[in-house]
């Protein structure tokens, strides 16, 4: 191993005079040489003081003498050879290398952001698809109860009209499938206006306003297929789990019953206030577009009803169908599905 050499100041411990010296470590002794100074203490009789911020490094020599040096790297190499102050050196380096500290912080922030952006939706999807259909029943019941109390009133649609639409819904549900307890419910809702939403168990609610808004039952079939799309892709549970976070997902998966009830109570906020993410709406539109193409050879009925919904809704109203993403983008994608110039996917 080569000798280690560095410049330092020697203090004899009696006067405050600093003697410039060269220090050489040969593996056994520190050889300290300068004007009027010549010392060769054994290294085991010397002590390297722990580093203190940006202060000069200090090596205590036998008797009262000491060396001070600005050559921190040399002292660190010396310590490395002696196996001294390793932990402290690491702390000191962290302290000194603020860039590393900042980089660690930035890494942590980036990790958290990436977790929220991708990790959480991924976990939420896993949890949503792992949630047994039987568990979605009490969640949906509780959610509908809250919605009935806060936003919905009994429907005024004539029973014959309801039966017609229920039959159409049964065809859509049977075609799209997925093993859910599908059921179409009607409600009047001056608060929500023309609207529709799907509960995770397969219950789809149409407002009277939506039924009146449609000019053609194929438009309502398009909305049914869109809502069934939300059911089979488990969008409401995914959105709910994403919003509530990992803790709730775990308690659902381990079968915590109180969480199931509180989930049901939180679901209306997802459906009525927050709405779905852009990706979820587009995915439900793809399910609906595919159904319409199979049965009518066109996606136009859904485009038409989306357009009319956008016109009917005040922008400030909670909006389940048309605000997010923007209706023109959704119509354009449905048009492209029909033209076969794209399958609606990106
Ligand atoms: Zn939707």
Instruction: Show the low-confidence residues of the chain (pLDDT under 70).
Output: 1-2, 84-96, 246-260, 273-274, 313-325, 341-346
User: Cα(114) to centroid of ligand 1, in Å?
Assistant: 26
Secondary structure tally for the chain: helices H, strands E: 14, 11
pLDDT at 307: 86
Q: What is the DSSP string of 329-342?
A: HHHHHHHHHHHTS-
Secondary structure percentages of the chain, helix, strand, coil, to 5: 55, 15, 30
Q: What contacts 334, CB < 8 A, 6 or more positions away? A: 285, 289, 299, 300, 302, 303, 306, 344
- Ligand 1 center to residue 340 CA distance, Å? 23
What is the structure's pLDDT at 344? 44
Q: What is the pLDDT of residues 76-97, one digit of tens each?
A: 888 888 876 555 556 666 666 7
pLDDT (0 to 100) of residue 317: 44
All structural domains of the chain, each given as residue ranges with its CATH number in brackets, are 4-96 (2.30.29.30), 118-339 (no CATH)
Unique residue bearing structure tokens 């549900």: 173
- Spacing, Cα 61 to ligand 1 middle (Å): 78
What are phi and psi for residue 308, nearest 5 degrees?
Answer: -70, -35
Cα–Cα separations (whole angstroms), residue 140 to 1, 48, 133: 75, 70, 11
List, as ranges, residues with CB under 5 A of the ion ligand 1: 281, 284
Tokens of 6: 């560095």
Partnered with residue 24 across adjacent β-strands are: 5, 31
CA neighbor of 125 nearest in space, from 235, 226, 284: 235
pLDDT the model gives residue 128: 85
Rounded distance from Cα 265 to ligand 1 centre (Å)? 20
Give the 3-state DSSP-derived string for 26-74, with helices as H, strands as E and coil as C.
CCCEEEEEECCEEECCEHHHCEECCCCCCCCEEEECCCCCEEEECCHHH
5-51: pLDDT as tens digits: 999 999 998 888 899 999 999 888 999 999 989 999 998 888 888 88
Q: For residue 156, give the 3-state DSSP assignment.
A: coil
- 283 CA distance to ligand 1 middle (Å): 9
């Amino acid at each position: 191993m080569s000798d280690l050499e560095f410049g330092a100041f020697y203090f004899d411990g009696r006067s405050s005079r600093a003697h410039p010296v060269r220090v050489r470590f040969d593996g056994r002794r520190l050889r300290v040489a300068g004007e009027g100074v010549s010392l060769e203490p054994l290294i085991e009789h010397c002590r390297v003081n722990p580093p203190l911020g940006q202060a000069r490094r200090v090596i205590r020599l036998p008797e009262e003498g000491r060396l001070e040096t600005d050559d921190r790297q040399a002292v660190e190499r010396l310590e490395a050879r002696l196996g001294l102050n390793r932990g402290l050196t690491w702390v000191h380096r962290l302290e000194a290398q603020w860039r590393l500290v900042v980089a660690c912080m930035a890494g942590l922030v980036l990790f958290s952001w990436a977790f929220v952006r991708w990790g959480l939706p991924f976990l939420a999807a896993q949890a949503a698809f792992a949630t047994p259909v039987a568990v979605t029943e009490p969640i949906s019941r509780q959610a509908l109860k809250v919605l009935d109390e806060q936003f919905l009133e009994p429907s005024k649609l004539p029973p014959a009209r309801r039966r017609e639409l229920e039959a159409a819904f049964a065809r859509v549900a049977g075609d799209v499938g997925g093993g859910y307890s599908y059921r179409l419910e009607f409600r009047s809702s001056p608060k929500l206006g023309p609207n529709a939403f799907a509960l995770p168990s397969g219950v789809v609610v149409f407002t009277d306003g939506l039924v009146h808004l449609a000019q053609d039952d194929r438009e309502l079939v398009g909305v049914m297929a869109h809502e069934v799309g939300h059911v089979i892709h488990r969008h409401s549970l995914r959105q709910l789990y994403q919003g509530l976070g990992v803790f709730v997902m775990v308690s659902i998966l381990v079968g915590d019953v109180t969480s199931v009830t509180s989930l049901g109570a939180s679901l209306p906020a997802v459906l009525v206030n927050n709405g779905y993410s852009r990706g979820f709406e587009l995915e439900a539109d793809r399910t609906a577009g595919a159904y319409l193409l199979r049965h009518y050879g066109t996606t136009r009925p859904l485009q038409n009803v989306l357009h009319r919904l956008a016109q009917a809704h005040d922008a400030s109203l909670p909006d389940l169908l048309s605000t997010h993403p923007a209706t023109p983008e959704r119509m354009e994608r449905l048009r492209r599905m029909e033209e076969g110039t794209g399958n609606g996917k990106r």
